[in-house]
Amino acid sequence: MKEQDTINPSSLRQALAAKARPNLVVVAGGTDILVQLHDRVDRPWPKLLVLDGIKALGKITLHDDFVTIGPNVTFSEIESSPIIGKYAPQLAQAASVAGSVQIRNRATIGGNVANASPAGDLIPPLYVLGATLELLSVRTKRSMPIEKFFVGPGKTVLKSNELITAIRISKVKRIGFFLRLGTRQALAISKVSVAAALMIKSGIILDVKIALGAVAPTVIRAGVAEELLRGNRLDAKLIDHAAEAASKEARPIDDIRSVAAYRKEMVGILLKRGLTKILESM
Amino acid sequence: MAKENPQGNKFNVIGKASPRVDAIDKVTGRARYGADHSRTGQLYGAVLNSPYPHAIIKSINTERARALDGIRAVLTHADIPGAKSFGGIVPHQMVLCSGKVRYVGDAVAIVAAETPELADKAIELIEVEYSPCPVVSDPEQALSPSSPLVHEDGNLCAHHKVRKGDIETGFKNSDFVIEHEYTTQKVEHAYIEPEAVLAEPGENGGVTITGSVQNLYSIRRAVASVLNLPLNRVRVIQATLGGSFGGKDEAMSAICCRAALLALTTGRPVKMVNTREQSMRESYKRHPYKMRYKVGVSNDGILQAMEIKIIADAGAYAATSQFVTWRSVVQATGPYVVPHVKTDIYAAYTNNCYTGAMRGFGSPQICFAVESLMDELAAQLGLDPFEMRLRNTLKDGSITATGQKLTHRVTLDEALRNVTSAGGFKAKWLANREQDSASPIKKGIGISCSYRGVSLGAEGADAAGVGISLQTDGSAVVTCGLVDMGQGAATTISLVVAEELGLSSDKIVFLNADTTVMPDSGPTVASRTSFMAGNAARVGSTILKDRIAPVAADMLKCKASALVFCHDFISAGSSRITLAQLAAECFRRGISLSAHGWYKSPKTTWREEDGTGDAYFTFVYGANLAEVEVDIHTGRVIVTKFISCHDVGKVLNINGAKGQVYGGVAMGMGYALLEAYAEEDGQPKLGNFDEYLLPTICDMPQTEVIFLEGDDPLGPYGAKALGEPANEIAAPAIANAVANATGRRVRELPLTLERVLLGKNLIPGRERGSAMAKGAES
Amino acid sequence: MKVRFKLNGKFVMLDLPGVERLIDLLRERLDLVGTKEGCGKGECGACTVLLDGKPVCSCLMLASQIAGHEIVTIEGVAADNRYAHILNAFEETGAVQCGYCSPGMIVSAAALLARNRHPSDNEIKRALAGNLCRCTGYSKIIEAVSRAAERVAQERK
């Protein structure tokens, strides 16, 4: 892999200008792209646009109504950020269980989103936190809810001249969780993951979002389960119904990491465990 | 043999916690492994593997690859000067294939280039036309007459049998007969260092190979015959080995022959380093077994008969399948007295990745079956698993399944008692069967035990040598024909020499094995190194000591028998001299300061017709206990506690011994819960550690190690073996604990979450990678 | 492109030929072969080095990404007296067998002890979860890191 070149911009402007050229592959931390390089898929390899030198994209910023996370923010930074811990504990939880210390020190939130893996651990929490992505090109700027970003495994609506420049989440306080299952107790890719965010007042669920990872071509919302929960009092029976509904909404496949039947069942188990813990803490 | 240590049974260094002799080099990063060796002007080798598991090669065109700048050689089978194939038992594995490829690790062409990138590029430019053949992927079907043939002379690779008593009588004498099938998976050694070699053309027209080699002499034989060179012109030097576990034995022949061929063709050093993917694709694995056990037992819990049929997948080539399956057939009944035995084991050729030696060597599979079975029998009879075993275990003077009378001290019951009492087995085992139904987390406890023949047994010639060269300053160089692959042989052998000559162990430099220095000592396998090389080191030390002692006696004006060699001094009463003074004096007097110790193992016997004989000269015994927590809603098994007890005869180095046990348990845990090398129609479904999952530090339980020192008159200071016993019974202890927790028996490994929950295997999907990419991304 | 960075305490200026992994730069061009490659995919941790004090996999970094940063390899750790306790503890306890994972393991341990002087067993496990070992079963490695921490604590008293 020595013949190709890399572009290492130090500002967003330079990066966007470079991205206007076709066939550039973006590297943030590199923990995914270098794996792909190693596997030599997609040869000959195009030029690499390396973003991690752009300091401005590596910040977590508190605004009046929302929090902005730069795409270069690493899993380790998310894991230890007091701001994320306060406003997006599910995201902190997900960041803390992914990969190893070495991976978390390099892997970025922007990379995790752009890579569009249905098993990407940060994506389900971003779904339930109602995250918005800011996409910039030299000439255009748009933002969209994260759920609109993914088309399929590894496929997104990002245009070839665009970069993810910010991830925004609201500061509205919700309770929630992120739970996952992997084959071993560390350094495991999720077989199934479930994230949830709820707004509960006097025992009644005012609002709820549930996202499921690794059970469909993209991360998906469990809309039916959410509908069952919304407006109702959280109790054991309701939890069972919601878990059953979510299980039905999952559309997993058999692959090297698990089998469909198992994944489907586990969606219900994880959702039930998460919701039960909330019920018990009420 | 050497005289007893003059301080009685108290040793100076043996049995203590000694640091490894190579630890400093390893912790500082100074140790040089295969890939760390480079030479000026070296070329880089690369291999073209077959994309098909079974195909006829119609044509090979290397023109475009040859035309590329910076390519120094592109070679195929036609360029091999000597034998076209190699193999320790059946020499049929092709260095470079002609005619037919039999698995996807087969190689068709090799190149040497100025850079690794150029070598890869040249590989892509080689055009091979194949005509695919039907793929044989199921070993059972491979043995049916209608199966396509992997090898022209049939798909049966090995068949061994054991016959004892009369099986029909045995079943007639039984009150219960149960019959079950147990299955174990194919697993990879997963040494963290992938294979790497550097081949250099020698001044004498020969070749020198430095690399990650476990068995120097078999590599030398293979390279010499392939290159048509006499043995003395092929020099194989062991680089520091980054783990092996049986895996860098015969498999290294292929890469070494190829690198040597490229080096001699180009006249330049050639380096070949496998990626993890190449390593997984090419290197042999542990045999998957399908084992059918029919067992009869009387009401009092005494085993009456065992009828066993085992099918092993040998993959594309024989490698050590004949020997692996032989150990299985000898030990297939487990460490129990069974009056009537009929065992047949078959190994079949398929187009899967071939299988060979891996830590355990045919025992982890049968241990899983027998030890699961003993628990199932116990359940039938209403006995607890400990009691069930005690009624049947081998004891002093027992006769094994092959008719061998055990004349040494049999410590199996002691091992079982140790783990069950340390783990509070019985009370927990009973309590676990009535657990609170509200919680999904269920506790389980399980035990297992085994006996294991030490060293090669009736497999073949069994001898080893150690060289000792005392220097005039009182330091010493020690070397051995067996290798340190991480297990600590260098340290153990150094300690024996230190003990015998009264040297401090830091005065010893241990040289990595080199075929030009030491005679062929056979392979570093079968947990034979402490025993064989330990004995050879004692022999060598004694020869040397007997030679220098008279000089010391002369210097100290005493009788040689009054001398004490200790802490770098030789003393007689109150007067003493240093070992350095003695060595210097010997040198002045023209007395040789070097000695070679050679040790040949005691006799073993074997009759292949009915599988009887004294298969091994001695055995070791061990027992394990595992405690688990099973989440019955997700199928997750967490091993919470492990106790491992082994009779090692005598502990030579407590650090090294404990390390062998901890590592053996970890590998056994991977076998029990995580690891599986998945293939589909001969194609590997995974290639790296992201999908072949090893236990991490977070997966390991707290482990307690108990050593029994049963003492064996044959071993050095009574020592026997440990490396493999430590590994072979971890998985069944865990499986038995899971059954205790869930009330359900799983007869297939590994116990993945899916299998524990659904009882269903994890089927590798055809859409691998399309839907599931990596979790933490850039 | 030219990069300037600090390597094992010294500033280095290098010309990068193109896309190059950090591990290849270290091993092939700078002869720092103490850093090992086991998988090339960030799964085994044998190639762990410190990037500004944090453990990272050098097989998953581009050489160009270290411009302006500080890299410490096992050779740098071994030469630094502050880490002597870790090396000694690995040697004494038997935490080393084949040793191929040891450099990465020690680099990870060095990063842990630099920010946490009294790690619990669980903290040690979490910090070393990205370093695979096939020989030792990890028990002695946990013991070695604990022992190193104790020694450092005693010295500070």
Domains and CATH numbers, chain C: 2-77 (3.10.20.30), 82-156 (1.10.150.120)
CB-based contact (8 Å) between B566 and chain C? no
Residue A128 scores a pLDDT above 60: yes
The predicted pLDDT at position A1 comes to 44
CATH 3.90.1170.50 fits B34-134+195-282, yes or no: yes
Nearest to C134 among B26, B33, B694 (CB): B694
Q: What is the pLDDT of residues B297-326, one digit of tens each?
A: 999 999 999 999 999 999 999 999 999 999
**Ordered alpha helix ranges (H), C59-157:** 74-79, 84-93, 102-115, 121-128, 139-156
Residue B778 scores a pLDDT above 70: no
CB-based contact (8 Å) between A76 and chain C? yes
Q: What is the pLDDT of residues B655-673, one digit of tens each?
A: 999 999 999 999 999 999 9
CB-based contact (8 Å) between B23 and chain C? yes
Residue A123: CB partners within 8 Å, gap ≥ 6? Answer: A112, A113, A117, A146, A150, A211, A213, A219
User: Which one of A27, A189, A256, A266 makes the best mutation probe of the B interface by having the most chain B beta carbons within 10 Å?
Assistant: A256
The tokens for A171 are 């500061």
CB-based contact (8 Å) between A100 and chain C? yes
Q: What is the pLDDT of residues B345-382, one digit of tens each?
A: 999 999 999 999 999 999 999 999 999 999 999 999 99
CB-based contact (8 Å) between B689 and chain C? yes
Q: What is the pLDDT of residues B551-568, one digit of tens each?
A: 999 999 999 999 999 999
Residue C64 scores a pLDDT above 60: yes
Q: What is the pLDDT of residues B250-278, one digit of tens each?
A: 889 999 999 999 999 999 999 999 999 99
In b/e form, how buried is each residue of B438-449, taking b as 16+ CB within 10 angstroms? eeeebbbbbbbb
Quick one: which of A189, A41, A197, A12 has its CA closest to A107?
Answer: A189
Q: What is the pLDDT of residues B630-644, one digit of tens each?
A: 999 999 999 999 999
Quick one: which of A143, A148, A75, A67 has its CA closest to A110?
Answer: A75
Q: Do C134 and B700 lie within an 8 Å CB cutoff?
A: no
Average model confidence (pLDDT) for chain A? 94
Q: What is the pLDDT of residues C54-63, one digit of tens each?
A: 999 999 999 9
Are B223 and B256 in contact by the 8 Å Cβ rule? The answer is: yes
Q: Kindly list the residues from chain B whose CB atom is less than 8 angstroms away from the CB atom of residue A74.
A: none
The predicted pLDDT at position B769 comes to 34
CB-based contact (8 Å) between B192 and chain A? no
What dotted CATH number matches B23-31+463-600?
3.30.365.10
CB-based contact (8 Å) between B685 and chain A? yes
Q: Kindly list the residues from chain C whose CB atom is less than 8 angstroms away from the CB atom of residue B242.
A: 36, 98-100
CATH 3.30.365.10 fits B408-454+617-762, yes or no: yes
Say which amino acid occupies B308: I
For residues A154 and A117, give the distance between their C-alpha atoms in angstroms, rounded to a whole number: 6
The predicted pLDDT at position B761 comes to 58
CB-based contact (8 Å) between B634 and chain A? yes
In chain A, where the domains are located: 6-50, 57-170, 175-281
Average pLDDT over residues A116-126: 97
Average pLDDT over residues B54-64: 98
Residue owning tokens 């190893």: A100
Chains that touch C (3 or more CB pairs under 8 A): A, B
Nearest to A105 among C40, C55, C67 (CB): C55
Q: What is the pLDDT of residues A259-277, one digit of tens each?
A: 999 999 999 999 999 999 9
Q: Tell me the CA distances in angstroms from B256 to B269, B274, B516, one per residue in order.
A: 12, 12, 17
Q: Do A103 and C130 lie within an 8 Å CB cutoff?
A: yes
Nearest to C138 among B191, B655, B700 (CB): B700
The tokens for B138 are 């199921």
The predicted pLDDT at position B6 comes to 39
User: Which one of A102, A105, A108 makes the best mutation probe of the C interface by having the most chain C beta carbons within 10 Å?
Assistant: A102
Find, in chain B, the residue whose alpha carbon is nearest to that of A39.
B277
Q: Which helix (H) or strand (E) holds B73?
A: strand B71-75
CB-based contact (8 Å) between B695 and chain A? yes
In chain B, where the domains are located: 23-31+463-600, 34-134+195-282, 408-454+617-762
For residues B368 and B184, give the distance between their C-alpha atoms in angstroms, rounded to a whole number: 8
CB-based contact (8 Å) between B21 and chain A? no
Average pLDDT over residues C16-41: 94
Say which amino acid occupies B242: G
Residue C142 scores a pLDDT above 90: yes
Sheet holding B508-511, edge to edge: B508-511, B476-480, B463-470, B594-600
CB-based contact (8 Å) between B559 and chain A? no
Residue B481: CB partners within 8 Å, gap ≥ 6? Answer: B216, B217, B464, B465, B466, B513, B518, B519, B520, B521, B522, B533
Nearest to A262 among B117, B754, B776 (CB): B754
- Do A57-170 and A175-281 come out as alike in CATH topology? no
Residue B2 scores a pLDDT above 80: no
For residues C40 and B562, give the distance between their C-alpha atoms in angstroms, rounded to a whole number: 60
Chain A nearest-CA distance from B408, in A, is 42
Are B356 and B186 in contact by the 8 Å Cβ rule? The answer is: no
Q: Which fold would CATH assign to domain A57-170?
A: 3.30.465
The two beta strands, B289-297 and B303-315, are: antiparallel
Q: What is the pLDDT of residues C69-121, one digit of tens each?
A: 999 999 999 999 999 999 999 999 999 999 999 999 999 999 999 999 999 99
Are C130 and C45 in contact by the 8 Å Cβ rule? The answer is: yes
CB-based contact (8 Å) between B691 and chain A? yes
The predicted pLDDT at position B770 comes to 31
Residue C152: band (very low, low, confident or very high) from pLDDT cuts 50, 70, 90: confident
Find, in chain B, the residue whose alpha carbon is nearest to that of C45.
B192
Q: Kindly list the residues from chain A whose CB atom is less than 8 angstroms away from the CB atom of residue C64.
A: 6, 8, 50
Q: Do C129 and A4 lie within an 8 Å CB cutoff?
A: no
Q: Kindly list the residues from chain B whose CB atom is less than 8 angstroms away from the CB atom of residue A37.
A: none
Are C101 and C133 in contact by the 8 Å Cβ rule? The answer is: yes
Q: Kindly list the residues from chain A whose CB atom is less than 8 angstroms away from the CB atom of residue B691.
A: 256-257
Residue B327: CB partners within 8 Å, gap ≥ 6? Answer: B361, B362, B363, B453, B457, B459
Q: Do B773 and A103 lie within an 8 Å CB cutoff?
A: no
Looking at the DSSP bridge assignments, the partners of residue B643 are B625, B704
The predicted pLDDT at position B362 comes to 97
For residues B644 and C10, give the distance between their C-alpha atoms in angstroms, rounded to a whole number: 48
Q: Do A266 and B772 lie within an 8 Å CB cutoff?
A: no
Going by the DSSP 8-state scheme, the letter that residue C129 receives in this structure is T
CB-based contact (8 Å) between A187 and chain C? yes
Average model confidence (pLDDT) for chain C? 96
Beta-carbon contacts below 8 Å between A and B: 143
Residue B775 scores a pLDDT above 60: no
Residue B457 scores a pLDDT above 90: no
Looking at the DSSP bridge assignments, the partners of residue B636 are B631
For residues C48 and C22, give the distance between their C-alpha atoms in angstroms, rounded to a whole number: 11
Average model confidence (pLDDT) for chain B? 93
The predicted pLDDT at position A23 comes to 83
Q: Would you say the C-alpha torsion C2, C7, C11, C12 has a positive or negative sign?
A: negative
Q: Do C102 and B27 lie within an 8 Å CB cutoff?
A: yes
Q: What is the pLDDT of residues B217-251, one digit of tens each?
A: 999 999 999 999 999 999 999 999 999 999 999 88
Residue A4: band (very low, low, confident or very high) from pLDDT cuts 50, 70, 90: low
Average pLDDT over residues B99-126: 96
Residue C86 backbone dihedrals phi, psi, to 5 degrees: -65, -50
Q: In chain B, what percentage of residues exceed pLDDT 70?
A: 96
CB-based contact (8 Å) between A80 and chain C? no
Q: Tell me the CA distances in angstroms from C27 to A2, B269, B318, C62, one per residue in order.
A: 15, 18, 37, 14
Q: Do B19 and C41 lie within an 8 Å CB cutoff?
A: no
Q: Do B659 and C136 lie within an 8 Å CB cutoff?
A: yes
Q: Kindly list the residues from chain B whose CB atom is less than 8 angstroms away from the CB atom of residue C138.
A: 662, 666, 697, 700
Beta-carbon contacts below 8 Å between B and C: 169
For residues C143 and C153, give the distance between their C-alpha atoms in angstroms, rounded to a whole number: 15
Residue A41 scores a pLDDT above 90: no
Quick one: which of B14, B34, B45 has its CA closest to B483?
Answer: B34
Are B512 and B237 in contact by the 8 Å Cβ rule? The answer is: yes
Find, in chain C, the residue whose alpha carbon is nearest to that of A50.
C65
Q: Which CATH superfamily is domain A175-281 in?
A: CO dehydrogenase flavoprotein, C-terminal domain (3.30.390.50)
The two beta strands, B156-164 and B340-349, are: antiparallel
For residues A211 and B310, give the distance between their C-alpha atoms in angstroms, rounded to a whole number: 47
- Do B23-31+463-600 and B408-454+617-762 come out as alike in CATH topology? yes
User: Which one of C86, C97, C106, C131 makes the best mutation probe of the B interface by having the most chain B beta carbons within 10 Å?
Assistant: C97
Are B704 and B662 in contact by the 8 Å Cβ rule? The answer is: no
Are B105 and B355 in contact by the 8 Å Cβ rule? The answer is: no
Chain A nearest-CA distance from B669, in A, is 11
Quick one: which of B648, B646, B632 has its CA closest to B751?
Answer: B632
The predicted pLDDT at position B774 comes to 32
